[in-house]
Structure 1
């Protein structure tokens, strides 16, 4: 597999697309794994030091209501590539998901891969004259130990000229080279593959940065789209040793965030972002490169981080499972230090990237894209935004607390419908960001309005449902 990815990478570096390249805008989407809403200095952490993320927010726009398309990773990643809600793609759980005999409901026959019928964002960008690179976590293939079943769904067959470290695994076996779990070898070892020899013990986040920056330097002035999906800050919790040592004496009693390993992992991601910005500036292309920084789902509550004041975390039906830090920097366009309170979600990045770059994409695919371009908001955070609601659909179980549910956010209102017992919960996030006061009984009219709207949306996208096992 290493030889395959190396060959794909080298072929990608040699591709020449004839256009007037120098004026075109580059785009880098940096997706951080399991990144909680408060897990950066500019989002209120009392421990995690993120000077580069903070600097990006000071130069660009911070979104206080940024959302992932799902409470777990694979669905959000499929949404990033398609612009479609998980309810529409039917990639509705992390691959391969949790199945327990004692669960009350039977999960649907959902799609455990990113189907090749979709025009991915990478395919659209490549057809539009852009170089394309995937760096990091993919996790959109079938769960299989047969390379022949996996390779058609790897990034290099989904529009990316270059694939660095993207395979079927959702987490590394270790954050230190050779990045495998224990003494296992081969496809079962959770090895993260790189197309080059690596120094023993090289930290994974740093190695991903090494390759991302090498690609940018080799492309020079040619326009590119890079999807950099960090494995961090997903478990295993292994901070870089020097950063863990720095953090341990900084942790004091009563602090919200108090895990030195996790803090070190966050800071390693921040350092990678800093190296990225430095490289763009050294290459003379920083002024025409957009950076989108966001997360795939909420933070892993308790074990890794604390999402307070949000309720719960990854794998739950509540805000802590889906609200994520989001920062976008578009040089010369985003007002420096601006803050946008409009709810935005993963579906939006596909049309946003197309509009920023002027790439048209595939008309048939675009007709099914659920997202809205954020360009009006990037120019003016207070602009009128023509959307009345965003949605989630998760017909599964998760150890983070979720049972089959769906949810809608319409302005300040958020309604969650649980399918085991068919009850709904209604919250006004403007007054109750922690979702402590269920208003469904005291405001039945609003609950019915949002439930009806949610059901209509589910019908529109063709959502699949869990069913009672007795049926």
Structure 2
């Protein structure tokens, strides 16, 4: 009798394990300030990114994917909540509020991590959080994550040899770190090590890893071994423009180091035998900041970080999922950060418990019929005053505070060089109505100029 009970228990455990493993693991790799043109598979000629290029050649490359915002904080909030910046609780960086106080992600906010945890996933974030600036109420463990290792605040994440990092709810000081002399533990390396551990420890259960790398955000810093491939290319002789070339060498080295470590992550999935059951997404939180033209980081696009022109919000996006995504495929599906929430829920087999602004792009990944957005919307308040933008099909409108609306046809003018609002007044009015109706009021993020725009 005891033997029979033990046998039935074993069979039940095996069945449970098989059922659990049928749920797709999700790794979402979000890098910081990487431009649309910073990768070889998107046209980069100088920076070596062989691992990500291989990921694209074996997966799917999106050509019209958009960040949640043109700066870090609101972009990440959009990713986590499934809401664009007209509805999201966080619409600007920490000090960009009318109160002067940071607005954190409310503890009560439903996040994609909470939804996946509800679906039986083990959830972790490694890297940059930035959603708990004021206090610890909005730390990752209160937002659906089982594990956190990394930067709590934005400013802390501007340094690669930081004085302070966090593990779960506990701060610690990395031993031997000296940011001024770039000595100690390079934070990116520790994030990669922790990510590999997380994957290893959770390989037999469904997991969600949000890997929020800080490369290539300023400050420019990388260990010397990652600079070596770029030191004999003439850049240090002034041919790079702007300075003696050392900054460009460092920038390229940072991206190549990140590329190398993404290759290590994919190798680990293969060695564990879970690559076919793991969707890996690679993207950036907004457009580039550092490049002055040498790398052509924004590719054919106008603008960069802090702009709502394409260069500020259109970003590289690669999805890798062996045996599910057609190898070497490219998609022009118009999608955005707020689509990840419903996509993850669909993968996990749960209905979103809140209404989002997103549409699952799982049909695109699997080669099926894809529902489309009626429009995409962004807003940001920067030095020029608030800016709003909307995209509807081939049309893109940008509205600066107290200035006439600008209109562009992206099918004919991807670089947004020709404002055609005057020659297309009906279309301009249509998009202006969308801009006016797409948002809800938020007293912390008013659509009027204010002087508190100082945080990167």
TM-score normalised according to structure 1 size: 0.82
| Structure 2 contact 133–152 (Cα < 8 Å) conserved | no
Partner SS state of residue 404, structure 1? strand
Equivalent in the alignment of 1:443: 424
Equivalent in the alignment of 2:291: 302
| 1:359-385 per-position Cα deviation (integer Å, ceiling 9, x unaligned) | 334x2x2x2x1110001111228x443
- Aligned mates of 2:156, 2:65 — CA distance in 1: 24
| Structure 1 contact 425–438 (Cα < 8 Å) conserved | yes
CA shift in 2, pair 1:251/1:342, >3 Å: farther
Equivalent in the alignment of 1:319: 310
Equivalent position to 1:373, from 360, 373, 390: 360
Equivalent in the alignment of 1:287: 276
- Aligned mates of 2:387, 2:99 — CA distance in 1: 13
| Structure 1 contact 46–255 (Cα < 8 Å) conserved | no
| 1:146-184 per-position Cα deviation (integer Å, ceiling 9, x unaligned) | xxxx222111221111101131234535323xx23xxxx
CA shift in 2, pair 1:208/1:193, >3 Å: farther
Equivalent in the alignment of 1:268: 257
Equivalent position to 1:430, from 402, 407, 411: 411
| Structure 2 contact 76–285 (Cα < 8 Å) conserved | yes
- Aligned mates of 1:137, 1:84 — CA distance in 2: 20
CA shift in 2, pair 1:24/1:308, >3 Å: closer
Equivalent in the alignment of 2:88: 89
CA shift in 2, pair 1:375/1:416, >3 Å: same
CA shift in 2, pair 1:195/1:133, >3 Å: farther
1:343 paired with 2:326, answer: no
Shift of 1:309: 2.1
Find runs of 4+ consecutive structure 1 residues off by over 4 angstroms.
107-111, 192-200, 251-258, 459-464
- Aligned mates of 2:344, 2:201 — CA distance in 1: 22
Shift of 1:323: 1.0
| Mapping for residues 171-186 of structure 1, pairs under 5 Å | 171-172=156-157, 174-176=159-161, 179-180=162-163
Equivalent position to 1:208, from 183, 191, 194: 191
Equivalent in the alignment of 1:386: 372
Equivalent in the alignment of 2:382: 397
Aligned length: 418
| Structure 1 contact 110–464 (Cα < 8 Å) conserved | no
Partner SS state of residue 77, structure 1? helix
- Aligned mates of 1:95, 1:374 — CA distance in 2: 30
Q: Which runs of 5+ in 1 are unaligned?
A: 1-17, 100-106, 144-149
| Mapping for residues 67-216 of structure 1, pairs under 5 Å | 67-97=66-96, 107=98, 112-143=103-134, 150-172=135-157, 174-176=159-161, 179-180=162-163, 201-216=184-199
- Aligned mates of 1:462, 1:130 — CA distance in 2: 36
- Aligned mates of 2:363, 2:20 — CA distance in 1: 25
| Structure 1 contact 301–313 (Cα < 8 Å) conserved | no
| 1:297-335 per-position Cα deviation (integer Å, ceiling 9, x unaligned) | 101053596324211200112111111110011222211
CA shift in 2, pair 1:451/1:375, >3 Å: same
CA shift in 2, pair 1:173/1:429, >3 Å: closer
Partner SS state of residue 64, structure 1? strand
Partner SS state of residue 325, structure 1? strand
TM-score normalised according to structure 2 size: 0.84
Partner SS state of residue 397, structure 2? strand
Equivalent position to 2:391, from 373, 397, 409: 409
Equivalent in the alignment of 1:43: 42
- Aligned mates of 1:118, 1:329 — CA distance in 2: 29
- Aligned mates of 2:444, 2:420 — CA distance in 1: 26
| Structure 1 contact 47–250 (Cα < 8 Å) conserved | no
Shift of 1:197: 6.1
Equivalent in the alignment of 1:63: 62
CA shift in 2, pair 1:284/1:319, >3 Å: same
- Aligned mates of 1:467, 1:422 — CA distance in 2: 12
Equivalent in the alignment of 1:259: 248
- Aligned mates of 1:262, 1:27 — CA distance in 2: 28
- Aligned mates of 2:63, 2:47 — CA distance in 1: 18
* Higher gyration radius (CA): 2
Equivalent in the alignment of 1:233: 216
CA shift in 2, pair 1:458/1:431, >3 Å: same
CA shift in 2, pair 1:329/1:219, >3 Å: same
